[in-house]
Amino acid sequence: MDAVAAKEVLQQEYNRHILMLLDQGYKVRQISVELAVSVGMVNKRIGVLKKSFEVEDHSGLLREAKILGFV
């Protein structure tokens, strides 16, 4: 994924916050409580992030976000 496309995805505050919380070890349920949104919404946003970063799992998502300097 190029840096421009990654920046566009991360423009949304929830996406940046979700990445930060995942990096801190939060589970999806804990993130939903922290952000006062549904578990489904968190999963949907994580899915969009995974697709945008072209990864399959949370660890890959965090790895790519760190490489690109977003986390």
The string of pLDDT tens digits covering residues 19-68 is 999 999 999 999 999 999 999 999 999 998 999 889 999 999 999 988 98
Quote the number of domains for the chain.
1
Range of the domain at 59: 3-67
| pLDDT for the residue 6 | 64
CATH number of the domain bearing residue 61: 1.10.10.10
User: So what's the pLDDT on residue 44?
Assistant: 92
pLDDT of residue 25: 95
Cα–Cα distance measured from residue 70 to residue 38, given in angstroms and rounded to the nearest whole number: 24
